[in-house]
A = this chain, B = another copy of it.
Amino acid sequence: MRILYHLPLCPFSRKIRLIMAEKRLSFELMTEAVWKKRDEFLSMNPAGTVPVLVEETGLAICDSYAISEYLEEAYPDTLLMGRTLAERVEVRRLVAWFDDKFNREITRNLLFEKMFKRLFGNSNPNAQALREGYQNIKFHLDYIAYLAENRVWLAGNNLSIADFAAAAHLSSLDYIGDINWDKYPMVKDWYVRIKSRPSFRALLNDRVSGVVPPKYYADLDF
């Protein structure tokens, strides 16, 4: 059986889970406590990060960028990156937007500070980081609203990994109650469409001990 090493609230792992579910690829989820730096895990992925996908052949694929490109090449029946060069350019621009810029400006400042920092042996959340995260999220939600208002899906007419990258970050932040949906109805409309997909169900069932998500977290009609 295919194995995906992940962490429940890791947006990069969530993006890969969504892509694999959309491509109807079965896999077993293994939670990897990356802060423990397990030797067997580091020998597969020297960077020590999740997600890592291990195929039944034994091929280990590290890093969410490499995994998403691999899945698109190895399992092309359901294409999630667009077909023309121009479509693929836009999908990848937005994936970089969410996994690089959004991650650096928001996810690291909020999710990492609140949920993961202590596990890595660091101190309490940094107040300056939290302030920056809450400031930046407004700009980013405005940008997603702009895309959602002008396009069927974030990158254009077709559902793509740009939607999954965005939804992965937002869903993890939603678990800790950091998304004010009522202020962004266009973002909420788009998110409801993604959240209602069968591929999303497993993410909504994730629970992390000690942290209870808001009531609407797993609600499809919130």
Q: Which residues of A contact B (CB under 8 A)?
A: 45-47, 59, 61-63, 65-66, 69-70, 73-74, 85-86, 88-89, 92-93, 95-97, 100-101, 143
How far is A97 from B45 in the complex, measured between Cα atoms in Å?
Answer: 10
Q: Is the CB of B92 within 8 A of A63?
A: yes
Q: Is the CB of A96 within 8 A of B66?
A: yes
How far is A61 from B74 in the complex, measured between Cα atoms in Å?
Answer: 25
CB within 8 Å for A65 and B65 given contacts A47-B97, A59-B86, A73-B88:
yes
| A69 neighbours in B (Cβ, 8 Å) | 69, 88, 92
Given A45-B93, A59-B86, A62-B89, 12 additional A-B pairs, CB 8 A: A61-B89, A62-B96, A63-B97, A65-B96, A66-B96, A69-B69, A69-B88, A69-B92, A70-B85, A70-B88, A70-B89, A73-B88
**Most B C-beta atoms less than 10 A away, residue of A45, A74, A88, A143:** A88
| A96 neighbours in B (Cβ, 8 Å) | 47, 62-63, 65-66
Residue of B nearest to A61 (CB): B89
Q: Is the CB of B92 within 8 A of A66?
A: yes
Q: Is the CB of B47 within 8 A of A89?
A: no
**9 pairs from A and B in contact (CB 8 Å cutoff):** A61-B89, A61-B93, A63-B93, A63-B96, A63-B97, A65-B95, A69-B92, A73-B85, A73-B88
Residue of B nearest to A47 (CB): B101
Residue of B nearest to A73 (CB): B85
Q: How far is the CB of A126 from chain B (nearest CB, A)?
A: 13
How far is A88 from B67 in the complex, measured between Cα atoms in Å?
Answer: 10
| A46 neighbours in B (Cβ, 8 Å) | 97, 143
Question: Which of B62, B86, B101 has a CB less than 8 Å from the CB of A93?
Answer: B62
